[in-house]
């Protein structure tokens, strides 16, 4: 065979190679592995190169329920659907187009028929349900594991005309029926706790993750059964009618809470990679004489749905044009780095950093999820996981929300946080009153634990009363009373509220960001304590058969204790070590020795201390 037009053939060959290369680029991009930390509970699929945008106001609620189920099913393979309701959702989709190479198509918007063309291959059936009742939650629970769509009677004829067959009719079923019949098909690391009248939110993520999607009274039987089946350190998306009861009940089952009841698009947003590390200055801050130091911390950063919706665009908060005129602390969930990575990256990129002020983020209550530490049985494992999320999101300070029965900021469980290498300090609030501890602070080595001194919140302090109290406070930077952490209630205050408070502050009052606040306390308060001599206390003395050695000011595990007689002979003992907030408690059991003088020898790489004790007759 003779090719008469070789140049043309070469051009076609090059064109074919080019097209193949382009296809390879798109396929490679869509199959990009989504980054997750080790032991991450958040599933992933593939990063999309195209998203079809749909505006909620162009669809009925029945259509949105169907669209939501298709969105969740698509995301199991590769996200294709994005709902735009304005507010934050418009910011995130624009960011995806501008910074992540995603092609945004509106060609299907407003037409439920075209949405059906996006249903993944292999989906052949539907679940018939009602809108906004128990059966809606049943459908949102089962569409994922059964690979099917959620349909109401309003759209039943439409989907059947497209060839889809009814798999289940759940209109008279409730969530307990799901557990009784499909428990083994459901995710045991994620659960959705969502009221029935919020049927058009979180459903896509429940379907994507095969999560049980339910609502019941927080102390009801279905809630008990749902929580009992979950693995330790699992996570709840959604919200209940009572914050305290929801969080305390979840905490007792070692379930962390993600307030996310008005969240949507999470199944799409979770499937992106982004740089989620907070960019901060490494500048060192000097201790200034005759100065009172203040840090303002905005509340509610644990709230996933707030982050996704109003937070970034509302002029009360991160949408304010006045950010950057003073230092402000904000809270953010470290797990946003995997729940919605591009959202976290965009928020970080919006943070102000000027000569007048900056925005600085700390981890919201109480780490990578909202829980009460004192009620959380698997706290040690939770804090270890949190440490990885802190590293991934560039956070070093954690805001703790708990229930402290004492009058001091010290709680033994806080040590689980402070042992993490990513943690530089803690801000502690008591749930009953964020400023209950009245500004107390303590140190774990060089890591401060600081309680809120005042609440800027209706019923507590006004802008004027707060400024007056701060102006009258100590200005000795080596005194703990010279530092004030202000818990700012986000729903009743704004950036402008904080600017007004600052305008009322006198000379000698210094407003700093959270990182500077922690560093200054560490240098001025914690460092001098660290240099103090080791404190050893033995009691009872004289003793009978037991001795307790209290070690203060030494946190390392690298030490040894021996008991010897006057001749230097070691006495056999059984020792039980218990770590405490500022050191150790060691209990000795000593039997069958004569009355007389003995010596407790404590040794470490930098210490060699001896205490004389008496054995009673």
Predicted confidence band of residue 444 (pLDDT cuts 50, 70, 90): confident
Predicted local confidence at residue 406, as pLDDT:
82
Task: Give the residue with greater pLDDT, 31 vs 199.
Answer: 199
In the numeric block, which tokens belong to residue 111? Answer: 């037409």
pLDDT at site 533:
64
Give yes or no for a contact between 436 and 447, defined as CB atoms under 8 angstroms apart.
no
| Residue that the structure tokens 């099913």 belong to | 73
The span from the first CA to the last CA of the chain, in angstroms, equals 115
Q: Is pLDDT at 383 greater than 90 in this prediction? A: yes
Q: What is the mean pLDDT of the chain?
A: 93
In this prediction, residue 446 carries a pLDDT of 87
- Token representation of residue 181: 């019949």
The CATH superfamily of 292-528 is GxGYxYP glycoside hydrolase, C-terminal domain (3.20.20.490)
d(CA 214, CA 191): 8
Give the domain ranges of the chain: 50-269, 292-528, 535-615
The residue to which tokens 């089946």 are assigned = 229
581 vs 166 pLDDT, higher one: 166
pLDDT over 50 at 528, yes or no: yes
Question: What DSSP string describes 391-431?
Answer: HHHT--EEEEEE---SSSS--TTHHHHHTSTT--EEEEEET
Of 170, 164, 156, nearest to 214 (Cα)? 170
**What is the number of other CB atoms lying within 10 angstroms of the CB of residue 423?**
22
Pairing type for strands 190-193 and 212-214 reads parallel
Q: Write out the two tokens for 30.
A: 């869509």
Distance of CA 209 to the CA centre of its chain: 18
Structure tokens at 129: 């349900």
pLDDT value, residue 185: 98
DSSP 233-301: TEEEEE--S-HHHHHHHHHHTTEEEEE-TT--SHHHHTS-----------------SS-EEEEEEES-T
Q: Could you say which of 3.40.50.2000, 2.60.40.10, 3.40.50.300, 3.40.640.10 is the CATH number of the domain covering 535-615?
A: 2.60.40.10
pLDDT of residue 25: 33
pLDDT for 605 equals 81
Residue 214's pLDDT band (boundaries 50, 70, 90)? very high
What's the pLDDT score for residue 18? 35
d(CA 431, CA 105): 46
Place of tokens 């063309």: 117
List strands edge to edge, sheet with 190-193: 212-214, 190-193, 234-238, 255-259
Per-residue pLDDT tens for 13-51?
334 333 333 333 333 344 689 999 999 999 999 999 999
Contact between 451 and 409 (Cβ < 8 Å): yes
pLDDT tens-digit series, residues 275-334: 999 987 778 899 999 999 999 999 999 999 999 999 999 999 999 999 999 999 999 999
Give me the count of residues in the chain: 617
At residue 125, what are phi and psi to the nearest 5 degrees? -130, 175
């Amino acid at each position: 065979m003779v090719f008469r037009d070789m140049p043309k053939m070469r051009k076609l060959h090059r064109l074919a190679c080019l097209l193949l290369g382009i296809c390879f680029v798109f396929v490679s991009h869509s199959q990009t592995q989504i980054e997750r930390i080790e032991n991450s509970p958040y599933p992933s699929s593939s990063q999309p190169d195209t998203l079809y945008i749909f505006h909620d106001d162009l669809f009925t609620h029945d259509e949105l329920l169907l669209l939501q189920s298709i969105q969740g099913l698509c995301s199991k393979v590769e996200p294709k659907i994005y709902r735009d309701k304005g507010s934050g959702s418009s910011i995130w989709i624009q960011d995806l187009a501008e910074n992540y190479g995603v092609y945004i198509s509106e060609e299907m918007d407003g037409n439920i028929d075209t949405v059906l063309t996006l249903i993944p291959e292999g989906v052949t059936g539907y679940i018939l349900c009602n809108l906004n009742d128990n059966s809606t939650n049943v459908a949102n629970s089962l569409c994922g594991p059964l690979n099917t769509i959620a349909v109401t009677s309003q759209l039943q004829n439409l989907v059947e005309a497209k060839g889809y067959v009814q798999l289940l009719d759940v209109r008279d079923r409730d969530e307990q029926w799901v557990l009784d019949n499909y428990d083994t098909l459901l995710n045991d690391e994620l659960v959705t706790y969502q009221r029935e009248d919020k049927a058009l939110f979180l459903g896509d993520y429940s379907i994507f993750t095969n999560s049980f999607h339910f609502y019941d009274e927080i102390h009801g039987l279905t809630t008990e059964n749902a929580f009992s089946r979950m693995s330790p350190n699992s996570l709840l998306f959604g919200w209940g009618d009572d914050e305290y009861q929801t969080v305390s009940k979840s905490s007792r089952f070692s379930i962390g809470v993600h307030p996310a009841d008005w969240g949507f698009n999470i199944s799409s947003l979770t499937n992106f990679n982004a740089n989620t590390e907070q960019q901060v200055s490494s500048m060192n801050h000097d201790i200034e004489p005759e100065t009172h130091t203040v840090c303002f911390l905005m509340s509610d950063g644990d709230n996933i749905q707030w982050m996704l919706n109003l937070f970034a665009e509302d002029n009360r908060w991160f949408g304010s044009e006045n950010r950057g005129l003073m230092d402000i602390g904000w809270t953010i969930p470290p797990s946003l780095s995997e729940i919605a990575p591009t959202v976290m990256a965009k928020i970080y990129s919006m943070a102000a950093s000027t000569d007048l002020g900056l925005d600085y983020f700390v981890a919201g209550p109480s780490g990578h999820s909202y829980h009460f530490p004192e009620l959380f049985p698997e706290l040690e494992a939770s804090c270890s996981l949190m440490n990885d999320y802190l590293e991934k999101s560039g956070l070093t300070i954690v805001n703790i929300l708990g229930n402290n029965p004492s009058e001091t900021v010290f709680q033994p469980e806080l040590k689980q946080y402070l042992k993490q290498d990513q943690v530089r300090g803690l801000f502690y609030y008591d749930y009953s009153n964020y400023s209950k501890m009245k500004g107390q602070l303590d140190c774990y080595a060089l890591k401060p634990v600081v309680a809120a001194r005042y609440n800027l919140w209706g019923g507590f302090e006004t802008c004027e009363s707060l400024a007056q109290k701060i102006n009258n406070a100590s200005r000795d930077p080596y005194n703990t009373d010279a530092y004030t952490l202000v818990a700012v209630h986000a729903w009743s205050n704004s950036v402008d509220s904080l600017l007004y408070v600052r305008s009322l502050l006198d000379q000698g009052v210094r407003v700093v960001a959270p990182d500077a606040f922690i560093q200054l306390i560490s240098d001025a308060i914690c460092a001098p304590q660290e240099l103090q001599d080791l404190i050893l206390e033995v009691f009872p003395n004289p003793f009978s058969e037991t001795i307790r050695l209290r070690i203060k000011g030494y946190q390392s595990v690298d030490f040894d204790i021996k008991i010897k007689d006057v001749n230097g002979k070691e006495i056999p003992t059984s020792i039980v070590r218990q770590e405490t907030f500022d050191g150790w408690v060691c209990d000795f059991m000593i039997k069958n020795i004569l009355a007389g003088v003995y010596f407790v020898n404590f040794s470490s790489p930098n210490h060699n201390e001896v205490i004389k004790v008496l054995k009673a007759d």
